[in-house]
Amino acid sequence: KKAIETIDKNIVRNGVTDRVVSNQSDAALFMVKNRNMKDRFSIIDLDPYGSPSPFLDSAVQSLAEGGMLMITCTDMAVLCGNHSEVCHAKYGSIPLRSKSCHEMALRIIIRSVESHANRYGRYIVPLVSLSVDFYVRIFLQIYTSPHEVKRSASKLSYVYQCTGCESIELQPLIQNKRHSEDNAYNFSPTAPKVGRNCEHCGHTYQMGGPIWSAPIHSSQFISQLQKQLSDFNEQSFVTHKRMHGMLQVLSEELID
């Protein structure tokens, strides 16, 4: 109740009473009630205490075509491999404890969102994916296309990680055997790409996933953000330098 009262005061203070309406109810239920085409939201920002998993299904249903979904996850102990069984229950994937656990956390969440979207003939396009301090932050768009949904499994992989040198191999779920420029697909299951032991050190593998193995950033979107940020001076935002640095790092990452 106090939170809503504070929100209402801020709405009045910022002069946006004609555009902002507060609501005190179950967030998942509220989103589902607005899943009709005319009522859908352009932007949904999920920033719960802990895991956003209870809200993902409602969110992908109630976003307008091309709408933006923003997600914050603070349950990093779960996503980074300390509680694999909990991660599977919440996100449908098994994490691995490794030096790349934060990137794997991002890819687990994105895969989970894609899975929810696919059930409604929708698919996602990741824009920006960040691991910051004690949480991860993801920005993506939602579109509708049953045809594109058929390609979703080709963007997912299992992860083989060596228990010795920690080298990583990806195992795609399916592959497209038809190499043509038309819109037809001929997907088939894939066979394991690794043997029982690591070719580098001879240790055994452990398996995690599935994860989103397609790009987790949009270079075009990041470039646009950099351009817009450059139009503001450093006094415009307290975090101007930090945002500039983060976008610069993202722009230099490999697109994979």
Q: Which two tokens stand for residue 119?
A: 């059930």
Instruction: Give the whole-angstrom CA distance, residue 210 versus residue 48.
Output: 24
Whether residues 202 and 234 fall in one domain: no
Helix-strand-coil split of the chain, %, nearest 5: 35, 25, 35
Q: Could you tell me which of 197, 117, 204 has the C-alpha nearest to residue 155?
A: 117
Residue 13 lies in a domain: no
Mean pLDDT of 115-131: 97
Mean pLDDT of 105-123: 98
Given a cut of 60, whether residue 180 has pLDDT beyond it is no
Whether residues 150 and 243 fall in one domain: no
Whether residues 112 and 238 fall in one domain: no
Whether residues 244 and 154 fall in one domain: no
CATH number for the domain spanning 74: value is: 3.40.50.150
Mean pLDDT of 162-191: 81
Minimum mean pLDDT among 51-55, 73-77, 102-106, 192-196: which range?
192-196
Whether residues 212 and 226 fall in one domain: no
Which residue segment(s) compose the domain that 72 sits in?
34-216
Given a cut of 70, whether residue 179 has pLDDT beyond it is no
> Using an 8 Å Cβ cutoff, are 56 and 43 in contact?
no
Whether residues 59 and 70 fall in one domain: yes
Whether residues 111 and 95 fall in one domain: yes
Mean pLDDT of 126-150: 95
Whether residues 195 and 223 fall in one domain: no
Whether residues 206 and 103 fall in one domain: yes
Residue 21 lies in a domain: no
Given a cut of 90, whether residue 207 has pLDDT beyond it is yes
> What are the tens digits of pLDDT across the range 216-237?
999 999 999 999 999 998 888 9
pLDDT score of 184: 62
Whether residues 181 and 236 fall in one domain: no
Q: How far is CA 249 from CA 173, 226, 254, in A?
A: 30, 11, 10
Instruction: Give the whole-angstrom CA distance, residue 56 versus residue 83.
Output: 21
pLDDT score of 215: 96
Given a cut of 60, whether residue 116 has pLDDT beyond it is yes
Tally the domains of the chain: 2
Whether residues 227 and 108 fall in one domain: no
Share of the chain above pLDDT 70, in %: 97
Kindly report the length of the chain.
Answer: 256
